[in-house]
Each structure stands twice: as structure tokens, then as C-alpha cells.
Amino acid sequence: MKLDPRERAILEYIHAHQTVTISEIAKHLKVSNKTVSNTLKAIDFSLKGSDVVLIRKPNVGVSLKGSDEAFVRLLEAELVSDFVPETQQDRLAFIVFSLLKKKEAISKQTFIQQLFISKSTLEKDLTKVKQILEELGATLTVISKKG
């Protein structure tokens, strides 16, 4: 899922204010009510399949249904899907964050595809990740056939 900056701003505004009218959103973003309505349609489509639902009630306003955790996961997933680390430092941070966030194993192939790097580059990065995790009091375990 990819949100444009306006969609993201509207989602964050609705989340922060619970229930808001289209006019309030339009005033906040300095756009027309029609622009907000059209953007809400796009947001509604983008949210399909997520744990967050856009609720539109005439004469009441717009709100989001879903937990704060679901909203954070939605924005996190949107950021991660858009971010491709280019430097080694960024890759290391991405790998460490991904490993700490997931409870299950992540395959090397997954990192290779997400980061657009070779297997040898990943191996070098994993050596450094192992050192970083050891400094944090954690360990990196590589399991054959799993990742």
C-alpha cells in the first residue's frame, strides 16, 4: 500500500481528532471539500484488507475504526514499503529493526529482495548486525533452510 502525502496527512489528522468533518479537514489542509472527499475515497480503497476502517457518517463526520496499534502498523508498513536503504548504515538499521520487530525467522532471500543486494553483501551486513545485537545483549541465530 502506498499513501500519498495528502492521504497520510488526512489519516493522521482523523486519528488525532477522533471524528472530524470534511470541512475541518479541508480547512486544516487548505484544500477544497471536494478534494478531501475524493481523497477519502482513495484512502477507503487503500485501507481495504487492513485492520483500520474509514467510517463516514453524514452530518457527523469521518472517523477511523481500529486500534492504535493497527494504525501504527498501517503507517509503519507504508513507510517500510516505500523505503529502500542505500547505505550500509541504513541497511544495518533496517535489518536490526526488522529482526527485532518479527517474532519468527526472516529468510536471507527476503532481505536480498527487499534491499536489492547480493548474497555476499547480505553476509557482510549480517556479520555487523550480529556485532550490533551482541552489544545490545541479543543474539542473531542463523537456522539452515529457514533464514
Question: What is the total residue count of the chain?
Answer: 147
13 and 50 belong to one structural domain: yes
Cα–Cα distance, 57 to 59 (Å, whole number): 6
**Which tens digit of pLDDT belongs to each residue from 18-51?**
899 999 999 999 999 999 999 999 888 888 877 8
45 and 101 belong to one structural domain: no
Of the candidates 42, 56, 59, the one whose C-alpha atom is nearest the C-alpha of residue 3 is 42
Q: Give the structural domain span for 98.
A: 83-147
Cell of 92: 544495518
User: Residue 53, SS3?
Assistant: strand
**Which tens digit of pLDDT belongs to each residue from 57-78?**
999 999 988 887 877 777 766 6
| CATH for 136 | 1.10.10.10
| 111-114 contact pairs (CB < 8 A, 24+) | 114/84
